[in-house]
Structure 1
Amino acid sequence: MSLHLSSHHIRSSKRRTPCRSCSKQLHTWLAPCSTRAIKPRCEQACSTWRQVHVENLLLLETNIDDSSPQVLAYTMEELLLAGGLDVWSAPVYMKKGRPGTTLRILCKACDAEDLVHLLFKVRRQFFAEPRYPYLAFVSKKETSSIGVRLQNCERVSLRRHIETVQTRWGSSVRIKVAKIGEATVNAHAEYEDCAEVARSEGVPLADVFREATAAYYFNNPEIV
Structure 2
Amino acid sequence: MKYNSDEHIDDQMIKIEVSLDDMNPEFYGYLMEQLFKFGVNDVYIVQVIMKKNRPGQVLHVLCREEIREKVMDFIFQETTTLGIRYTPYTVHRLEREFIEVETEWGKCTVKIGKRAGKIVQFAPEYEDCMQLAKEHQVPLKWVYDQAKEKGYQWLNEQKLLE
TM-score bucket of the superposed structures, by smaller chain: 0.7 to 0.9
* Greater RCO, 1 or 2 (C-alpha within 8 Å, sep 6+): 2
Question: Which of the pair is proportionally richer in strand?
Answer: 2
Q: C-alpha separation between the residues in 2 aligned to 1:116 and 1:79?
A: 10
Asked whether the equivalents of residues 20 and 80 of structure 2 are also in contact (C-alpha less than 8 Å), the reply is yes
Asked whether the equivalents of residues 83 and 115 of structure 1 are also in contact (C-alpha less than 8 Å), the reply is no
Q: C-alpha separation between the residues in 2 aligned to 1:148 and 1:100?
A: 15
Alignment of 1:148-167 (within 5 A): 148-167=84-103
Asked whether the equivalents of residues 162 and 174 of structure 1 are also in contact (C-alpha less than 8 Å), the reply is yes
Residue 210 of structure 1 aligns with which residue? 145
Number of aligned residue pairs: give it. Answer: 153
SS at the partner of 2:87?
A: strand
Q: C-alpha separation between the residues in 2 aligned to 1:60 and 1:216?
A: 36
Asked whether the equivalents of residues 175 and 188 of structure 1 are also in contact (C-alpha less than 8 Å), the reply is yes
Residue 95 of structure 1 aligns with which residue? 51
Asked whether the equivalents of residues 162 and 177 of structure 1 are also in contact (C-alpha less than 8 Å), the reply is yes
Residue 16 of structure 2 aligns with which residue? 60
SS at the partner of 1:103?
A: strand
Please, which runs of 5 or more residues in structure 2 have no aligned partner?
1-5
Structure 1 length normalisation: TM-score?
0.63
Structure 2 length normalisation: TM-score?
0.84
Please, which runs of 5 or more residues in structure 1 have no aligned partner?
1-50, 122-141
Amino acid at match of 2:35: L
Residue 182 of structure 1 aligns with which residue? 117
User: Rg bigger for which structure?
Assistant: 1
Higher mean C-alpha deviation, range 110-119 or range 58-67: 110-119
